[in-house]
Amino acid sequence: MWIKEGEGDDEERRRSFRKHLKSPDGMESEAVELASLDADLLFYRPPPVQMSIVVSDAMEPDFPIIYVNKVFELSTGFRAHEVLGRNCRFLQFRDHRAKRRHPLVDPDIVSEIRRCLKEGMEFQGELLNFKKDGTPLVNRLKLTPILSDDAIVSHVIGIQVFSEAKLDLSKTSYPVFKETYKPKTDVSADAVLFSPDWNSTWIQRKEVCGLLQLSDEVIAQNILTRLKPRDVASIGSVCRRIRKLTENEYVRKMVCQNAWGRDVTGSLELMTKKLGWGRLAREITTLEAIRWKKFTVGGAVEPLRCNFSACAAGNRLVLFGGEGVNMQPMDDTFVLNLDAANPEWRRVSVESSPPGRWGHTLSCLNGSWLVVFGGCGRQGLLNDVFVLDLDAKKPTWKEVSGGTPPLPRSWHSSCTLEGSKLVVSGGCTDAGVLLSDTFLLDLKMEKPTWKEIPTSCTPPSRLGHSLSAYGRSKILMFGGLAKTGHLRLRSGEAYTVDLEAVEAPQWRQLECGALAGGVGGVQNAVAPPPRLDHVAVTIPCGRIIVFGGSIAGLHSPSQLFLLDPSEEKPSWRTLNVPGQPPKFAWGHGTCVVEGTRVLVLGGHTGEEWVLNELHELCLASRYDSE
Ligand SMILES: Cc1cc2nc3c(=O)[nH]c(=O)nc-3n(C[C@H](O)[C@H](O)[C@H](O)COP(=O)(O)O)c2cc1C
């Protein structure tokens, strides 16, 4: 039970413990004194933590509060009569006029609460809340569903432990807001400029646009930070006050975070040190600074191989396995640390290695966990999973098994979702049969278990295709060698699925047009020729770049193609990229580091295995060189 027991109970127990130790003559001896001292220590508890309690009715829509205790009132400043009948989310709003929760309240935690309540599960976690006067608080929250006799959740009990949130929202987050806000009662130049129509009646009646009567903080937090990067740039031209607010680095970072997600913005932090969030958002949106660069590093991956798999683990490039001369399956792990002054390939000394293989996939989860799946080994095709923590003192590959694994396969494709989920699709079996299934393994679970994702509609079976994650839970599948009737043909089709779709996930073919025109490096429009063994990378705004691969006739080698699968009518665009591109090849390894550096290594040209050549596709200007 986590509700504090009465202090009186402790005192009672202490007393009876002492009684028990009394000497037969009724006198308390020294030993008894000592024992009672120990007993005090035994029963010592740290001072009670003040726990606030809220009870909500789970049978009514939106979980209205039916009870709050005194600690809740004292901790939050809200009196019971002000909150009864409401949903508890008002604690996430700093300003009672705000229509949305404060942007620093972690949306992932809120959706986790929503999920737990929906599924009648217990929730425990920490989130930012606000007192009635706007003071931020850290809330260690536990929600427990209470079942009625007929096993239906009838109530939810919330236990809150509030503590001081050590952040000064006015100083650290919104340095300019206080300075710029001057409430205006008459028509100002700003208000006239902001008017959608200069002759509109409200201007003539000398009233100020309602938006401009809001405080800087409310405009910034509740309006600007929710816009897309491109819209923020446009709204900045509306008036001086709004422009000043859009120039705030915090607002710009929040805009990027809302558009691209917390993980992506986290990985871009370094890039913004010199560029700033505004310029970085522009460069990534327009791709005006995109270029190829040859990258020279020390060391070498030896012995020679092809069909290896590579991925990025933070700022490190990792390569595992591959096919050596005479079809030798390799089992070694190499790392290239890009944070080093002079990066060089090093073979990692590992305690044990997965069986050697090629045509497998290597993925990185949570920045340092490497996951190998499947491929072709000495004894045939594999469906095993091995995980290695690169940051461990003694990195050791460990096999993970749970549930019914996918069929053994090679030339499948994989990607990762939400930092912990490995998704595997398609590939080829021992009998040469092409596959069309999709499997998911959540490695955050205590006992990771393979789950096949049942989809009512699947793309034709294929190998050598690419899977790219975008948004929170969406995947784009492109290309590959696909089964078309009795034939196997290179595919140029794109399919998408949302694994968190409310109804069952469903693969859907994207009807992609090809658009002409565009800004920066974006040029005219041609859909990518069908291909397999190509490279596909997701860039921060959820767009996907495709290049290379095996193409009929071996033409259009290093042409880059760009697609935004979230657009209503997605269209391929070609990118004109200056600089030194990699040789035309297929089977490259690709990794994205620091969010904007796409590293491309290896590949084969038909005559040659390219192994130790490294190229970088820079999506934004480098802060250290420009
Ligand atoms: C009994 C109970 C207590 C809750 N206590 C809090 C709380 O102290 N702070 C908070 O931010 N959310 C709290 N919540 C969660 C919110 O009420 C709400 O469910 C959450 O914000 C997710 O839903 P939404 O996305 O519709 O806002 C509580 C929910 C319940 C049922």
User: pLDDT tens across 279-337, in order?
Assistant: 888 898 889 999 999 988 999 999 989 899 999 998 899 999 999 999 999 999 999 99
Please give the Cα distance from 462 to 145 (Å, whole number).
45
Ligand 1 contacts CB of residue 92 (under 6 A): yes
Q: Are 239 and 216 in contact (CB under 8 A)?
A: no
Closest CA to ligand 1's atom 3:
158
Query: What pLDDT is attached to residue 92?
Result: 94
Span from the CA of 417 to the centroid of ligand 1 (angstroms): 26
pLDDT above 90 (res 504): no
**Distance between CA 334 and CA 299 in Å, rounded?**
10
Residue 548 or 201, more confident: 548
**CB–CB of 413/363 below 8 Å?**
no
For residue 184, pLDDT beyond 90: no
CA of 472 to the centre of ligand 1 (A): 22
pTM (2 decimals)?
A: 0.64
Give me the pLDDT at residue 542, please: 87
Amino acid 520: pLDDT: 45
Share of the chain above pLDDT 70, in %: 81
- Identify the three-state secondary structure at position 316: strand
| CA 430 to ligand 1 centroid distance, Å | 51
CA of 223 to the centre of ligand 1 (A): 23
Question: Taking the CB of residue 500, how many other CB atoms lie within 10 A of it?
Answer: 12
Instruction: Give 584's pLDDT tier (boundaries 50, 70, 90).
Output: confident
Structure tokens at 61: 């829509």
Question: What's the CA-to-centroid distance between 114 and ligand 1, angstroms?
Answer: 8
Angle at 395 between CA 393 and CA 396, to 5 degrees: 135
Nearest CA to ligand 1 atom 26: 114
Smallest Cα–Cα separation from 395: which of 347, 351, 333? Answer: 351
More confident residue, 166 or 305: 305
Rg (C-alpha) for the chain, rounded Å, is 30
E-strand stretches of 341-420: 345-347, 361-365, 369-377, 380-389, 398-400, 413-417
What's the chain's average pLDDT? Answer: 81
Residue with CA at minimum distance from ligand 1 atom 12: 89
Return the ligand 1 atom nearest residue 155 CA: 1
Residue 220 per-residue DSSP state: I
Give residue 352 CA to ligand 1 midpoint distance, Å: 47
Q: Which two tokens stand for residue 428?
A: 């080829």
Confidence band for 239, pLDDT divided at 50, 70 and 90: confident
Shortest-distance atom of ligand 1 to CA 87: 17
Does residue 141 have a pLDDT over 90? yes
pLDDT digits (tens, 9 = 90+) for 242-260: 888 888 888 888 888 888 8
What confidence score (pLDDT) does residue 624 get? 52
Question: What pLDDT is recorded for position 455?
Answer: 78
pLDDT in tens, 258-286: 888 787 888 888 778 778 898 888 898 88
Helix or strand or coil: residue 534?
coil
Closest residue to atom 23 of ligand 1, CA basis? 114
Mean pLDDT computed over 608-612: 77
| CA-based nearest residue to 598, from 579, 620, 573 | 620
Residues ≥6 apart with Cβ < 8 Å to 388: 333, 350, 369, 370, 395, 396, 397, 398
Q: Give the up-direction half-sphere exposure of residue 288: CA atoms within 13 A in the CB hemisphere.
A: 9
> Could you identify the atom of ligand 1 that is nearest to the CA of residue 55?
1
CA 157 to centroid of ligand 1, rounded, Å: 11
Tokens of 344: 């060089």
CA 90 to ligand 1 centroid distance, Å? 8
Q: Are 53 and 67 in contact (CB under 8 A)?
A: yes
Q: Is the CB of 75 under 6 A from ligand 1?
A: no
Output 215 or 405, whichever has higher pLDDT. 405
Tens-digit pLDDT profile for residues 511-542: 876 654 444 444 456 789 999 999 899 998 88
For β-strands 398-400 and 380-389, DSSP reports them as antiparallel
Kindly state if the Cβ of 127 falls inside 6 Å of ligand 1: yes
141 lines ligand 1 (CB under 6 A): yes
Which domains, ranges and CATH numbers included, belong to the chain? Answer: 52-164 (3.30.450.20), 214-283 (no CATH), 291-513+526-618 (2.120.10.80)
Helix or strand holding residue 452 (H, E): strand 450-452
